[in-house]
Every structure is written in C-alpha cells, then in structure tokens.
Amino acid sequence: MKKMIIASTSTVHGSSYLEYLLPTLTSFFKGIKTILFIPYARPSGISYHDYTTLVSKAFATINLDVNGIDEFENPITALQKAEAIFTGGGNTFELVNQLYKNEVLATLKEVIDNGTPYLGTSAGSNICGVSMMNTNDMPIVYPPSFTTLGCIPFNINAHYLDPIKGSKHMGETRETRIKEFHVFNETPVLGLREGSWLEVLGDEIYLRGKLTARFFQKDKPAIELQIGNLK
C-alpha cells in the first residue's frame, strides 16, 4: 500500500528546514531508522554532499539517519533495500534528468507502489504526478521525458500562489499558466499552497495543513478543495 507525504515546500517562512513537518514525519516514519535521500534536484546548485548534510541535520532532530543515494554503487539496489525515501526540492528538470540518467525512475515507482514510505518536497513532490509539466522551475537541462512517477492521478503545482489584489505585477499568474497547459493537455493539476501537503495512503489522498488547495481540470472552472479526503 502506498504511503506518501507530498509537500509543497520544505521550509515555511520563519522556520528551519523541514521544521513545520517534523511532528508529522515523526509518526510517518515510526519504526524506521534510516532515510534514503535523493539529492538530484540540487537547490541553488549545491553539491549532493552539502544537500545531504542539510537534510541529515533536520532528521537528526527526530533520531533518523540519512544516506544519499549517490553514496551507493548501485542506486537501484539502494532503492530496493531502503526503509524509507525522501526526495528534496530544487530544480525539477535536473531531478528528472538524473532519475532517467541513473535509470531509477521505474524502480522508485515500484518501491513506492509496494509500500516503501516516501516523502517529497517541492521538486520531489512534482515528480509524484503524471508528469513534471506543471513545475515552476527553469529548464536548465533537458530530461529525456517529462513523464514522472504517476503515483497520483494528477500533476502538482508546488508553491501555488494566488493573485495578489492590487498588485501591479504584469506577469502571468499560476492560474494563467495552468490554463495554458490545459489547452494541450488533459491531466488535472493541483495547486498546492505553502505549508500544505498531501498524505497518500493506498488509494486514499488527504489534503493536510491549514490551507485549501486549488484544483484545475481542462474546460472546467477551478475549484477549492477543503482539508481532508480528496475523494
């Protein structure tokens, strides 16, 4: 049975890395000693080592050890043997590029579908959907495909922002961009606001946190989804 937390962000304003999620992660990872971390997204271009160190410090506060997938000679075997998996945020294009380059995307989906607990934040959440096509990131590299895990039947737009009333910003809103996506694509999109996350238990998907989420479907008005079971 799938067991996932799909979070919009790793850090909310005024808190340290993963701090707002740690109470939830304490119970989510109960009975687990070591997390396998996938650092491929490299926020701000940091090294895998530095990223893993940052993550290790956060998880140490709840007595969990962290190993980076890049530390293993065979990343497929590392995924198959992992007690739990965390994929952090950064650039989704590079994350997906490396998942394909290291030939681990199919194995990652397999172990998640078989019940290995999975945490994703930001880019690590974007890959949980049908495709990565609703990321906000710059295309700094060109992955072989935009197809991702498909662990949930819609795409994620992490860090979803609502239009600010009275703002003089002339750029496109997130809703505008998603409408553009739906001219050419059928996949629904969930706009996940900061500090919110999805909890996936088998086929059940729950919205957690304090904020609603905005759900977009092709040729239909956007709707606000309330906290709780999304079915």
Instruction: List the catalytic residue out of 125, 131, 137, 196.
Output: 137
Provide the residue count of the chain.
231
182 is catalytic: no
pLDDT at residue 152, as a whole number: 98
Q: Which of 56, 113, 159, 182 is catalytic?
A: 159
β-bridge mates for residue 231, sequence order: none
Residue type, 26: T
Strand ranges, E, within 83-196:
85-87, 118-121, 155-158, 189-192
150: left (phi over 0), alpha (psi -120 to 50) or beta: left
49 is catalytic: no
Catalytic residue, from 122, 125, 131, 196: name it: 122
Nearest one of 202, 191, 227 to 151, comparing CA atoms: 202
State which residues of the chain have pLDDT below 70.
168-171
Residue spans of the domains in the chain: they are: 3-229
Note the pLDDT tens digit of each residue in 165-219.
Answer: 777 666 678 999 999 999 999 999 999 999 999 999 999 999 999 999 999 999 9
pLDDT at 165: 76
CATH class of 3-229: alpha beta
Active site residue 137: yes
